[in-house]
Amino acid sequence: MYGYQMTQMVKEITKGELNITEGALYPLLHKLEEQGVVETETEMNGNRMRKYYSLTKAGKKHTVNAMDEMKAFMQSLEFIVNPKPIVG
């Protein structure tokens, strides 16, 4: 997936709720590349060059862990906002 495609996809999936600015996206992608989470390849389309990003093996593992962490965090938040009454 390439940079512009990501911004459009996020916009589409979240129905415009989430908007990734270009100024934030590329520095983040470059950081993830340095951390080995994503890898890049380029493709020529006529005279035009496009850079594609894809998750590495480590990146896929990292994504699963990050999602688990986020779920746990969301659950904790819910407990705080909506505490269950103690029965007894």
Partner 1 sequence: MITEAQYESLFAFCRKHYVHYYDVQVELVDHLSEAIEEKIKLNPKLSFEQALDSVYAGFGIKGFADIVATRMEMVSKKSRKQKWKLFFSYFTVPKIAMTLCIYAAILLLGKFLTQDYFRGVFLAVLGVSLFVFEIIYSIHLNRLFKKQIKEMIFTNERLSGIIDTVFFVQILFTSSVFDFAEAKQMHFLAYSLISLFMLVIFVSILAHRDFVKELHSGALKLYPKAFA
Q: Tell me which residues touch partner 1 (CB under 8 A).
A: 2-4, 8, 21-23, 26-27, 30-31, 33-34, 40-42, 44, 47-51
| Cβ pair 11, 18 in contact under 8 A | yes
CB of 8 to partner 1, least distance (A): 8
Question: What torsion, rounded to 10 degrees, do the Cα atoms 21, 54, 27, 72 define?
Answer: 80
Closer residue to partner 1 (CB): 44 or 87: 44
CB of 41 to partner 1, least distance (A): 7
Question: What Cα–Cα distance (Å) separates residue 5 from each residue in 45, 62, 76?
Answer: 16, 22, 33
CB of 51 to partner 1, least distance (A): 5
